[in-house]
Amino acid sequence: MTRWGMVIDLARCTGCAACEVACKSENNIPTVSPDQAEMGRATSWMRVMAEPKGAFPDTTLEFYPRPCMHCDNPPCIKVCPVRATYIDPEGIVGQIYPRCIGCRYCANACPYTVKYFNWYGPEWPESERQYRNPDVSVRAKGVIEKCTFCHHRLQKAREDARAQGRQLREEDYQPACAEICPTDAIVFGDLDNPTHRVAELKEDPRVMRLMEDLGTQPKVYYLRQRT
């Protein structure tokens, strides 16, 4: 059975944030005005978190690229009163925008704070309409949106593979963040397919998941720094 998941090697991540920008570009994520951003209303499905420790010169800093964890046991789904947020049979946690009523229960239930609420309708200045991705719908005011592992790419890749009469290959389906990463820190694939790199990497001794003790069973794995 296919279970899509991600392994992020923290020893390779340089915190450059190419993944963040590539995600915004791929998924039609609108920018907000500086005032709105100040109020915490900027949306970033993928976010590089930085955690500094210690004092100069004994400082350390860890970068955590943080997409949706696509939990196998997602807390957001349990609280959704209208089944707008769901987990598909291959493990991708999605959001059905027309069904979402904007109650924001899921945003509050998510321990990883990856669900974003649209306080206003997206503003698309004429200039920005030009580069919107035709494969991804824009979201309306009053709904929650989140990382989808770029599942529109999966649909396309499946259709292409079917048209060519072959199986889906690992490289056919890669989300924008994994595709762009210049240090190859983000690896994506089928966790249950032994030929995919993620299946091997998730068995690495450095592996960990965020807030594992909550029982959410995230499908985004991190490989700790080498010491």
Partner 1 sequence: MGSTRRQFLWAMGATAASVGVRWTSDVVWAAQGSGDPGWSPGTERFVNSSCLVCPARCGIRGRVVDDRLVRLTGNPFHPMSRGGLCPRGVAGVQLLYHPDRISAPCRRVGARGAQAWEEITWDDALGQLGARLQSLRQRGQPEALALLAGYCAGSMHDLWQQFLQSYGSPNYIADDYDDGTAAVMELMHGIGRSPGYDLERAGFVLSFGAPLFEAWWSPLQAFAAFAGPDGDNGAPTRFVQVDTRFSRTAARAHDWAGIRPGTFGVLALGIAYVLIRDELYDAEFVARHVSGFEDVADAGGERREGYRSLVMRNYRTEEVSAVTGVPVGRITSLARAFAEAAHPVAVCGPDVTHAPNGLLAACAVHSLNVLMGSVSRPGGVLFGNEAPLAPLAAPVVDPRGRAGLDRGPLAPSQTPFGRGDPAMRFAGAVAAGEAGAVDTLLLYYANPLASALRRQVWEEALQRIPFIVSFSPFHDETTAHADLILPDLLAYERWQDAPTPASYPYPVWGVVRPLVDPHPGARHTGDAVLAVARQLGGSVARSLPYESFETLLKARAAGLFATRRGMTLGDAFELRHQQQMEERGWWLPEHREFEAFWDEAVDRGGWTDPFIDETEPAGLARTSSGRIELLPARLLEALATVGEGRTAYLDVAAAAAGGSDDFPLRLIPYRVSTLSSGTLPLQRWLAETPGLFPDVHWDPWIEVAPTTANTLGFANDTMVWVVSAHGRYRARLKVFPGTAPQNVCAPYGLRHPDGEPANPLHLLDGSSDPLTALPNWFTTFVRLERA
28 forms part of the interface with partner 1 (CB under 8 A):
yes
Q: How many helices (H) and strands (E) does the chain have?
A: 8, 10
Cα 27 to its chain centre, rounded Å, is: 11
How many CB atoms sit inside 10 A of residue 171's CB? 10
When the beta carbons of 6 and 185 are compared against partner 1, the nearer one is: 185
Contact indicator for 109, 78 with CB cutoff of 8 Å: yes
E-strand stretches of 119-219: 144-145, 186-190, 207-208
Minimum CB separation from partner 1 for residue 1, in Å?
A: 26
Beta bridge partners of 5: 189
55 forms part of the interface with partner 1 (CB under 8 A):
yes
20 forms part of the interface with partner 1 (CB under 8 A):
yes
Minimum CB separation from partner 1 for residue 61, in Å?
A: 4
205 forms part of the interface with partner 1 (CB under 8 A):
no
88 forms part of the interface with partner 1 (CB under 8 A):
no
Among 72, 102, 170, 207, binds partner 1 (CB under 8 A): 102
Q: How far apart are CA 51 and CA 60, in angstroms?
A: 8
Q: How far apart are CA 187 and CA 222, in angstroms?
A: 10
Instruction: Tell me which residue has tokens 């296919």.
Output: 2
**Part in contact with partner 1 (CB under 8 A); list of ranges 74-82, 162-170, 188-196, 207-215:** 74-82
* Residues between 119 and 178 that touch partner 1 (CB under 8 A): 121, 125-128, 130-138, 140-143, 176
197 forms part of the interface with partner 1 (CB under 8 A):
yes
224 forms part of the interface with partner 1 (CB under 8 A):
no
